[in-house]
C-alpha cells in the first residue's frame, strides 16, 4: 500500500471514530434530558408488560421524592413540560369536571374567589365544567366564563353538621358522576371551596387516580400520620404509604365513581355502628388509597398552606385561605 493510500485509510478510520463519538454523545444528551420512570410491570395473560413514561423529567428534582414505591410519579415543578402535556390532552379532547361544594356560609365566604381564581389557572385550554353543589343556588355568583368552560349549579341538602356535609359529598358525587358527569367529562376533580388558585394547575395533574400529599404531613414519619387507628371504623389504617389530603382528589370518572362509592360505603357502615372516623371523609380516602394505589400523586405545591415554609416548594398552585370556622361551621 502506498503512503497516500495508507494516509487515506487512516483518515477514514479517524472520521468514522469521530462520527460514532458524535452519535453516542448526542444519544446520551437526548436520553439524559428525558424522564424515564422506574420500570413498571403488569402481569397479564401470563406475560409481563413494561411501561415507560417519557413525559416527565424525574432527574430535574433531586431534592424531593419523585416517584412512589409502586412507580407512580409525584408531580413537582420542574419535572414536566407544560406545553407538551397541554398539547397531548388537547389533541385527546380531554375534558374535566371540577366539583366544589359551597354549603351554608361557605358560599358567602369562599365561592367567588375560588371560581375567579380557577378561571385564571385551572386546566386552561381544556374543556372544563364547574359543578357547584350548594343549598342556595340563587346565591351562586354570575360569572363570565372563558372558552370551552361552563357551569352547572346543583342544589343539595344542607346537613346540620359540617362533618356530615364533608362526608356526604361522597354520596352526591357518586350519584352525579353516574347520572351526568360521565356523559360529558373524562376526568373529575373534587375541591374544598376554602382555597384559591395562585398558579398553573394544568393537565400534568390529570391521571386515572390522583391523590394529593398533605402539606403538613409529607415530611413527617409515618407514626405521626393522623390515620384512623380504631379497628371499629371502616377507615381503620394501621400503616400506609403517605398521608393524603382530602382538599382535592381526582381521576378518570370511572375511578372517581369507584372511590366515592367505596368511601360512602365505609362512612355508612360506620354510621350504622355509631362510629365516626377521626378525620371524616379524609380518613376513608386514605384507607381507599392504601387499598387502591393512586396512579399519580400531586406534591404539596398543588395545595399549600402559606403558614409553612419549605425550600422545596418552588411554586404554589392552590393555597389555603383564612378559615372562618366560627362563622361557617355552625
The enclosing domain of 198 has a CATH number of: 3.90.550.10
Residue 56 has φ and ψ, to the nearest 5°, of -125, 145
**Cα(139)–Cα(109) distance, integer angstroms:** 12
- Which grid coordinates belong to 292? 387502591
Q: Which long-range contacts (CB under 8 A, 24 or more apart) does 161-166 make?
A: 162/104, 162/328, 162/329, 163/276, 163/280, 165/101, 165/103, 165/104, 166/246, 166/280, 166/281
Query: How confident is the model at residue 53, as a pLDDT?
Result: 57
Q: What is the pTM of this model?
A: 0.82
Q: Helix/strand/coil (H, E, C) string of 86-112?
A: HHHHHHCCCEEEEEEECCCHHHHHHHH
Query: How confident is the model at residue 159, as a pLDDT?
Result: 60
19 is a domain residue: no
**What integer best gives the mean pLDDT of the chain?**
85
**Cα(234)–Cα(305) distance, integer angstroms:** 29
Query: How confident is the model at residue 55, as a pLDDT?
Result: 83
**Cα(85)–Cα(76) distance, integer angstroms:** 14
> How would you classify the pairing of strands 318-320 and 248-252?
unpaired
73-102 pLDDT tens trace: 999 999 999 999 999 999 999 999 999 999
241 is a domain residue: yes
Residue 176 has φ and ψ, to the nearest 5°, of -80, -25
Q: Which of 204, 276, 282, 301 is catalytic?
A: 282
11 is a domain residue: no
96 is a domain residue: yes
301-311 pLDDT tens trace: 999 999 999 99
Q: Is the predicted pLDDT of residue 177 greater than 70, yes or no?
A: yes
For residue 282, indicate whether it is catalytic: yes
Cβ-contact 239, 282 below 8 angstroms: no
21-57 pLDDT tens trace: 444 344 333 333 333 333 343 444 444 332 335 789 9
Q: Is the predicted pLDDT of residue 129 greater than 60, yes or no?
A: yes
Q: Is the predicted pLDDT of residue 166 greater than 80, yes or no?
A: no
242 is a domain residue: yes
- In this predicted structure, which of 13-27, 52-66, 67-81, 219-233 has the lowest mean pLDDT? 13-27
Number of domains in the chain: 1
**Domain range for 188:** 58-328
Grid-cell match 403558614, residue found: 307
Q: Is the predicted pLDDT of residue 269 greater than 80, yes or no?
A: yes
22 is a domain residue: no
Amino acid at each position: 500500500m502506498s503512503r497516500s493510500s495508507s494516509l487515506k485509510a487512516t483518515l477514514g478510520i479517524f472520521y468514522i471514530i469521530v462520527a460514532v463519538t458524535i452519535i453516542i454523545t448526542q444519544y446520551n444528551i437526548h436520553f439524559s434530558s428525558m424522564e424515564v420512570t422506574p420500570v413498571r410491570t403488569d402481569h397479564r395473560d401470563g406475560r409481563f408488560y413494561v411501561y415507560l413514561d417519557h413525559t416527565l423529567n424525574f432527574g430535574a428534582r433531586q431534592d424531593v421524592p419523585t416517584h412512589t414505591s409502586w412507580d407512580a410519579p409525584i408531580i413537582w415543578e420542574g419535572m414536566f413540560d407544560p406545553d407538551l402535556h397541554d398539547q397531548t390532552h388537547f389533541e385527546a379532547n380531554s375534558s374535566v369536571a371540577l366539583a366544589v361544594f359551597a354549603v351554608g356560609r361557605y358560599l358567602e365566604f369562599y365561592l367567588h374567589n375560588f371560581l375567579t381564581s380557577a378561571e385564571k389557572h385551572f386546566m386552561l385550554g381544556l374543556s372544563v365544567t364547574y359543578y357547584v353543589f350548594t343549598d342556595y343556588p340563587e346565591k351562586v355568583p354570575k360569572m363570565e366564563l372563558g372558552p370551552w368552560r361552563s357551569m352547572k349549579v346543583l342544589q343539595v341538602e344542607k346537613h346540620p353538621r359540617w362533618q356530615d356535609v364533608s362526608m356526604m359529598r361522597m354520596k352526591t358525587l357518586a350519584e352525579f358522576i353516574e347520572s351526568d358527569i360521565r356523559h360529558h367529562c373524562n376526568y373529575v376533580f373534587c375541591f374544598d371551596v376554602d382555597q384559591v388558585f395562585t398558579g398553573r394547575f394544568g393537565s400534568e395533574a390529570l391521571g386515572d387516580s390522583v391523590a394529593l400529599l398533605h402539606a403538613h404531613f409529607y415530611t413527617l414519619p409515618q407514626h405521626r400520620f393522623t390515620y384512623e387507628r380504631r379497628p371499629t371504623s371502616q377507615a381503620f389504617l394501621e400503616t400506609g404509604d403517605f398521608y393524603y389530603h382530602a382538599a382535592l382528589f381526582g381521576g378518570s370518572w370511572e375511578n372517581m365513581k369507584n372511590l366515592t362509592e367505596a368511601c360512602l360505603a365505609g362512612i355508612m357502615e360506620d354510621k350504622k355502628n355509631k362510629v365516626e372516623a377521626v378525620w371524616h371523609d379524609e380518613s376513608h380516602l386514605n384507607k381507599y388509597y392504601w387499598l387502591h394505589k393512586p396512579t399519580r400523586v400531586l406534591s404539596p405545591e398543588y395545595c399549600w398552606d402559606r403558614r409553612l415554609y419549605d425550600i422545596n416548594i418552588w411554586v404554589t398552585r392552590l393555597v389555603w385561605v383564612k378559615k372562618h370556622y366560627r362563622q361557617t361551621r355552625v
